[in-house]
């Protein structure tokens, strides 16, 4: 066949069609985020115009008297996330260091242990909530919270009587839930540190930990920071596990053993009901605040993480 004819016939429609279709799919993702922002802002508009910025700092949530404020929920979200990071970050780092540094010689052990940690992420959060309510909460209350309250109850953070539903246990459940994410990303980051760094320090006679502390971790610092932010994003958005455990009380308390509320728990508890249009709008505004918080955190995290790690990476 005449090659010129063949070239003329090929691909004019097909290429354009494919590119168009997949580009449309790509656009739809951006459109989804934009639509989400618009719809939430729209639903929250009444509350936004009624309260403005002070909504973020107001502490009363009283549907009966039609007064709303977001501070108790922001506080609860931040406190539980802080506990989650405080406990989850060291554990995740430990796991990541183990899997990337110490288990280098034992591929099978690393593989099995690494898989087990990743499987934590495969457990649905509602099951975390169920387990937290029926197993973790009673045990922690009796063996950890009660003694802490008894002996250290003069400290503000242990000052209320523990009943097993509070910031503390919610924070611990969140810590467990963010371990897979933070440790996986940290592990990638640590693996990406060039071996020359380590070899140089070993040749100087450093112990393993000194190698890690002085040459590997500083190199990986921003990546681990990114991993932490990712974990924070996960903790902030977690709904079901927290709802079971937090105590659902829109109050602010310095005590870790007090009942509290988070942005996401409030939404799932009250979204179907509203005593007035302002109530409904306030709930959507809480969702908008959560959206904003999660958006900022996730963007921040990607900026840090994407920069450092190399190589192909499957990540969800």
Distance between start and end Cα atoms, the chain: 49
Q: Which stretch binds other proteins (CB under 8 A): 45-53, 84-92, 147-155, 215-223?
A: 84-92
Smaller CB separation from other proteins, 222 or 274: 274
Smaller CB separation from other proteins, 52 or 107: 107
Q: Which stretch binds other proteins (CB under 8 A): 50-58, 145-153, 195-203, 237-245?
A: 237-245
Q: Does 225 bind other proteins (CB under 8 A)?
A: no
Q: Does 104 bind other proteins (CB under 8 A)?
A: no
Q: Does 105 bind other proteins (CB under 8 A)?
A: no
Smaller CB separation from other proteins, 48 or 93: 93
Interface with other proteins (CB under 8 A), residue from 76, 129, 223, 226: 129
Q: Which stretch binds other proteins (CB under 8 A): 47-55, 148-156, 217-225, 232-240?
A: 232-240
Largest CA distance in the chain: 93
Q: Does 254 bind other proteins (CB under 8 A)?
A: no
> Cα separation of 77 and 167, whole Å?
9
Interface with other proteins (CB under 8 A), residue from 180, 216, 226, 227: 180
Q: Does 17 bind other proteins (CB under 8 A)?
A: yes
Query: Facing residues of 62 across strands?
Result: 67
Q: Does 53 bind other proteins (CB under 8 A)?
A: no
Query: Binding string to other proteins for residues 197 to 216, with x set by CB under 8 A, is what?
Result: --------x-xxxx------
> Cα separation of 68 and 46, whole Å?
12
Q: Does 94 bind other proteins (CB under 8 A)?
A: yes
Closest distance between other proteins and the C-beta of residue 54, in Å?
18
Q: Does 154 bind other proteins (CB under 8 A)?
A: no
Q: Does 45 bind other proteins (CB under 8 A)?
A: no
Closest distance between other proteins and the C-beta of residue 219, in Å?
18
Smaller CB separation from other proteins, 43 or 219: 43
Closest distance between other proteins and the C-beta of residue 71, in Å?
14
């Amino acid at each position: 066949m005449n090659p010129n004819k063949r070239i003329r016939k090929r691909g004019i429609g097909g290429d354009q069609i494919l590119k168009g279709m997949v580009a449309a799919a790509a656009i739809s993702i951006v459109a989804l985020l934009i639509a989400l922002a618009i719809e939430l802002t729209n639903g929250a508009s009444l509350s936004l115009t009624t309260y403005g910025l002070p909504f973020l700092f107001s502490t009363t949530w009283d549907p009966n008297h039609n007064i709303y404020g977001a501070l108790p929920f922001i506080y609860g979200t931040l406190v539980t996330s802080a506990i989650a990071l405080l406990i989850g970050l060291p554990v995740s780092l430990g796991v990541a260091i183990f899997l990337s540094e110490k288990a280098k010689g034992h591929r099978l052990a690393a593989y099995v242990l690494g898989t087990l940690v990743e499987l934590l992420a495969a457990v649905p959060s509602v099951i975390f909530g169920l387990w937290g309510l029926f197993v973790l909460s009673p045990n922690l209350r009796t063996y950890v919270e009660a003694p802490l309250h008894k002996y250290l109850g003069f400290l503000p953070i242990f000052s209320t009587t523990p009943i097993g539903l509070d910031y503390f246990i919610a924070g611990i459940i969140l810590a467990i839930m963010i371990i897979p994410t933070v440790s996986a990303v940290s592990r990638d980051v640590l693996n990406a540190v060039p071996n020359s760094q380590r070899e140089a320090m070993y040749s100087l006679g450093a112990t393993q930990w000194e190698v890690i502390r002085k040459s590997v971790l500083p190199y990986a610092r921003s990546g681990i920071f990114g991993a932490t932010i990712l974990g924070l994003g996960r903790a902030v958005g977690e709904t079901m596990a927290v709802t079971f455990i937090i105590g659902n009380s829109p109050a602010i308390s310095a005590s870790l053993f007090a009942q509290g509320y988070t942005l996401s728990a409030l939404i799932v508890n009250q979204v179907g009901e509203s005593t007035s249009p302002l109530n409904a709008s306030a709930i959507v505004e809480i969702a908008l605040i959560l959206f904003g918080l999660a958006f900022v955190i996730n963007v921040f995290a990607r900026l840090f993480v994407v920069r450092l790690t190399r190589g192909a990476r499957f990540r969800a």
